């Protein structure tokens, strides 16, 4: 009995010792990879795991829009154009629609820009509707599933809600015709109407050539603690200041404009990219929408992103370990942002920087041309591949109709003139 107790305690002590020793070794080791499985999925290769059929739509839906306004190639919504180009020459593309797992509809709904370069979303629903009517009438695949095995790239502010203002977008909801399709979008917020179950959240487009042109050698010492450049008050659309960014950006300014460790302003310096490479933390607060290219730029330049957007869903959240890389601050904690960031243990900051230095992550959030294995295009395909094989609810009985083609606002049913 006594011997049993002794043996038991010795066993417990040994197991504890081995565990702590393991932890200690873990910490001492240079952690360049990730714990767990999250990081491994980054270099999955989608080729061979899925087949995508690209519909051949008339050029008025895609190519002509870009010809008319080439600014679409450089703004933050350009992912829809580059995804199309990528798929056209990708090995996952199949020309035989019968063997395809996924169908891609190449429309560029965001390529309708104002004089200032802002996308107008008012005709986008009509364009979508027109495109879907076309594919439903010319190919049999839409009617088989009512779009459940089709995917669309909708990188606009609130995805397929097609509006830039959140209240209106929420009212409209996701376009009824797209309710069964898989949406590849930049917008992501938990429990939000405009983020459908099964959507793939992708990073916004930031020009890789431009970013690489401003790359500095990594031994330039990081001398800025917290960095932010961008709008802090939207005087034109929100003169009071209580709507834009849910008051978060205005709060940042009022609390920290005099703080020497914060370098925040609304200026547009030409050294914006270089300054990010000289900073430890880059703030990524929400604006009118919770996402912005700032996150991508911070990741590429090795600056720890400080995400201030409640309930945001970050791109490729199932493969990129955002909690290990970024810092999340609740909007109600903005007033304590300086305390939060300065009280972070140095080891954690260094660890985040080491993880950010991983080239796989930088590649996963960028859209390089030509495409490289592991980049955002491939992550999108991986996401689609993970949803295979399609469940039984995807396929409908012949003649069965689930979607309501007359639902939604009346303006959306008007013909798209072009």
Residues 6+ apart with CB under 8 A from 190: 311, 312, 313
Q: Is residue 209 close enough to count as binding other proteins by CB under 8 A?
A: no
Task: Give the helix/strand (H/E) hosting 229.
Answer: strand 224-229
Residues 6+ apart with CB under 8 A from 146: 180, 396, 401, 402, 403
Q: Which of residues 14-53 bind other proteins (CB under 8 A)?
A: none
In whole angstroms, what separates CA 195 from the centre of its chain?
12
**Contact stretch for other proteins (CB under 8 A) within 3-11, 104-112, 124-132, 233-241:** 233-241
Binds other proteins (CB under 8 A): choice among 109, 125, 287, 321: 287
Residue 72 main-chain phi, psi, to 5 deg: -60, -20
Any idea how long the chain is? Answer: 418
Site for other proteins in 120-159 (CB under 8 A): 120, 122
Which of 21, 33, 411, 413 touches other proteins (CB under 8 A)? 411
CB of 140 to other proteins, least distance (A): 34
**Is residue 131 within 8 Å of 57, Cβ to Cβ?**
yes
DSSP tag of 93 = B
* CA pair distance 172, 410, nearest whole angstrom: 11
| Shortest Cβ 267–other proteins spacing (Å) | 10
Q: State the minimum distance, in angstroms, from the CB of residue 231 to other proteins.
A: 5
CB 92 to other proteins: min, Å: 30
Q: Is 243:235 a contact under the CB 8 Å cutoff?
A: no
Residues 86-125 that bind other proteins (CB under 8 A): 114, 116-118, 120, 122
Which lies closer to other proteins via its Cβ, residue 193 or residue 394? 193
- Of the two residues 47 and 350, which places its CB atom closer to other proteins in the complex? 350
Least spacing, CB of residue 297 vs other proteins, in Å: 8
Contact at 8 Å (CB) between 10 and 3? Answer: no
What is the C-alpha separation between 304 and 378, in angstroms, rounded? Answer: 24
Using the rule CB under 8 A, which residue among 203, 230, 285, 315 binds other proteins? 230
Q: What does the alpha-carbon distance between residue 168 and residue 171 come to, in Å, rounded to a whole number?
A: 5
310 touches other proteins (CB under 8 A): yes
**Residue window 370-389: x/- pattern of binding to other proteins, with contact defined by CB under 8 A:** --------------------
Ramachandran angles phi, psi of 29, nearest 5°? -65, 150
Q: Tokens for 353, please give them.
A: 């920087």
Nearest approach in angstroms of CB 304 to other proteins is 10
For other proteins, which is the closer residue by CB, 102 or 228?
Answer: 228
C-alpha–C-alpha distance, residues 152 and 184, integer Å: 6
Name the burial class of residue 105, with classes exposed (0-12), middle (13-18) and buried (19+) by CB atoms within 10 angstroms of its CB: buried
Q: How far is the CB of 414 from other proteins (least distance, A)?
A: 8
Which residues, numbered 242-261, are part of the site for other proteins (CB under 8 A)?
242-243, 246-247, 250-251, 254-256, 258-261
Closer residue to other proteins, CB minimum distance, 64 or 338:
338
Phi, psi torsion values for 117, nearest 5 degrees: 95, 15
Per CB under 8 A, contacts with other proteins among 166-195 are 166-168, 170-171, 173, 189-193
| Residue span binding other proteins (CB under 8 A) among the ranges 21-29, 54-62, 70-78, 389-397 | 70-78
User: In this chain, which of 236, 359, 399, 415 binds other proteins, going by CB under 8 A?
Assistant: 236
Instruction: Answer for the pair 253, 308: CB distance below 8 angstroms, yes or no.
Output: no
Report if residue 342 touches other proteins, rule: CB under 8 A. Answer: yes
Of 5 and 242, nearer to other proteins (C-beta) is: 242
CB of 234 to other proteins, least distance (A): 6
CB-neighbour burial class of residue 382 (10 A; exposed 0-12, middle 13-18, buried 19+): buried
**345 to 364, contacts with other proteins by CB under 8 A?**
346, 349-350, 353
Report how far residue 317's alpha carbon sits from residue 202's, in angstroms, rounded to the nearest whole number: 9
If one asks whether residue 74 binds other proteins (CB under 8 A), the answer comes out as: yes
The closest of 342, 323, 231 to 280, measured between CA atoms, is 342
Q: Does residue 265 interact with other proteins by CB under 8 A?
A: no
Query: By CB under 8 A, which span of 138-146, 344-352, 367-375, 396-404 interacts with other proteins?
Result: 344-352
């Amino acid at each position: 009995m006594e011997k049993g107790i002794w043996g038991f305690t010795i066993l417990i002590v040994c197991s504890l010792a081995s565990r702590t020793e393991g932890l200690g070794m873990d910490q001492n080791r240079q952690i360049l990879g990730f714990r767990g499985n999250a990081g491994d999925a980054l270099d999955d290769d989608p080729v061979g795991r899925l087949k995508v059929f690209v519909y051949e739509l008339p050029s008025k839906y895609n190519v002509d829009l870009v010809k008319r306004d080439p600014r679409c190639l450089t703004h933050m919504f350009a992912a829809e154009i580059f995804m199309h180009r990528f798929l056209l020459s990708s090995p996952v593309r199949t020309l035989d629609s019968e063997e395809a797992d996924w169908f891609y509809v190449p429309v560029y709904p965001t390529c309708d820009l104002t004089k200032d370069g802002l996308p107008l979303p008012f005709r986008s629903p009509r364009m979508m509707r027109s495109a879907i009517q076309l594919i439903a009438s010319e190919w049999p695949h839409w009617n088989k599933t009512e779009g459940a095995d089709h995917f669309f790239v909708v990188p606009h502010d609130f995805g397929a809600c097609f509006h830039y203002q959140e209240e209106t977008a929420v009212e409209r909801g996701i376009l009824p015709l797209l309710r069964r399709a898989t949406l590849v979008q930049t917008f992501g917020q938990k429990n939000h109407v405009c983020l459908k179950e099964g959507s793939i959240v992708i990073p916004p487009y930031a020009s890789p050539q431009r970013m690489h042109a401003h790359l500095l050698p990594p031994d330039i010492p990081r001398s800025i603690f917290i960095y932010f450049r961008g709008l802090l008050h939207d005087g034109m659309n929100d003169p009071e200041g209580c709507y834009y960014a849910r008051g978060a950006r205005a709060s940042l300014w009022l609390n920290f404009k005099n703080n020497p460790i914060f370098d925040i302003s609304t200026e547009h310096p030409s050294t914006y990219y270089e300054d990010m490479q000289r900073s430890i933390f880059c703030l990524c607060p929400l604006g009118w929408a919770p996402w912005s290219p700032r996150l991508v730029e911070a990741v590429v330049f090795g600056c720890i992103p400080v995400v201030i957007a409640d309930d945001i869903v970050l791109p490729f959240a199932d493969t990129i370990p955002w909690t290990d890389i970024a810092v999340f601050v609740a909007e109600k904690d903005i007033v304590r942002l300086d305390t939060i960031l300065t009280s972070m243990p140095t080891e954690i900051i260094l660890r985040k920087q080491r993880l950010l230095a991983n080239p796989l992550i930088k590649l996963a959030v960028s859209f390089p041309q030509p495409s490289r294995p592991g980049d955002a295009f491939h992550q999108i395909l991986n996401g689609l591949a993970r949803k295979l094989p399609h469940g039984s609810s995807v396929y409908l009985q012949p003649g069965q109709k689930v979607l309501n083609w007359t639902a939604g606002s009346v303006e959306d049913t008007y013909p798209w003139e072009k």
